[in-house]
Amino acid sequence: MNESKIQSHWWSKTLAGIFAGFFLSIGVVGIFAWLGPDGLTQHISEEQRLWKTQFNMWIITPIWLIVLSFVYLFRTGKQAWTWLGGFACLTIAIVAGLRGML
């Protein structure tokens, strides 16, 4: 079998896209929420926060959907889990760190 060809691995890739993808998008948005403009450490008005939090909530979905759509490009399910899971853990760890420190 050709090593570089994409394997189907429907279930494991799909599950990686759903679960690891979800936490990855929460993590990415989390870093943005803390460090991005009008971030959580800044003093912003109630009105600014109202819209900024809605914005943060909205952008989770496009990130998650894009991850989920392109997860089938991973050669194997294991690779999908390694990469997505790895980055999900990394971003969530950064968010946890920011939460603790700031």
Partner 1 sequence: MKIRSDILRTYQSVHTWTGITAGLLLFIGFFAGALTMFGSAIDDWATPPDYQLQQVATGQHDVLLRQVFAAYPDTVGNVTVSFDEHSSPVYWYDSGSAGGFSLDDQMMHATLDAQGKLVSELRHVNELSMLIDYLHRSAGIIGEIGHDQAGVYVLGIAAFLYFIALVSGLIFLLPSLLKSFFALRKEKGANRFWLDSHNLVGIASLPFHIIIAVTVVVFSFHDLFYAGLSQVYGDKPLFGGDEHHKEVRYEVSALPNLNDIRKRVEDYAPGYEVISINLRGLNSEHPSASVAVLSEASFMRGPHSDFLFMNPFTLEVDTSSVINGNGQQGVWGSVVKTFFGLHFGSYGGEIGRWLYFIMGLGGAFLFYSGNLIWLEKRRKKQQVTQSKSSNFMASLTVGVCLGSAIGIAGTFAASKWLTLTALNINIAYMWVYYSLFFAATIGAFALGAARFSLVGLHSFSLLCLIVPLTSLCGLLLPNMGIWVPSSTADLGVEAGALCFAIAGLVAAKRVKHRVYHGEVNSIWYCQKLTSSKASSAHLA
Task: Indicate which single residue of 56, 76, 79, 82 sits in contact with partner 1 (rule: CB under 8 A).
Answer: 56
Of residues 58 through 97, those in contact with partner 1 by CB under 8 A are 58, 60-62, 65-66, 68-70, 72-73, 95
- What is the per-residue binding string for partner 1 in 4-33, x denoting contact by CB under 8 A? -xx-x-------------x---x--xx--x
The reply on whether position 57 binds partner 1 by CB under 8 A is: yes
What totals of helices (H) and strands (E) does the chain contain, helices first?
Answer: 4, 0
Residue 7 gets which letter from DSSP? Answer: P
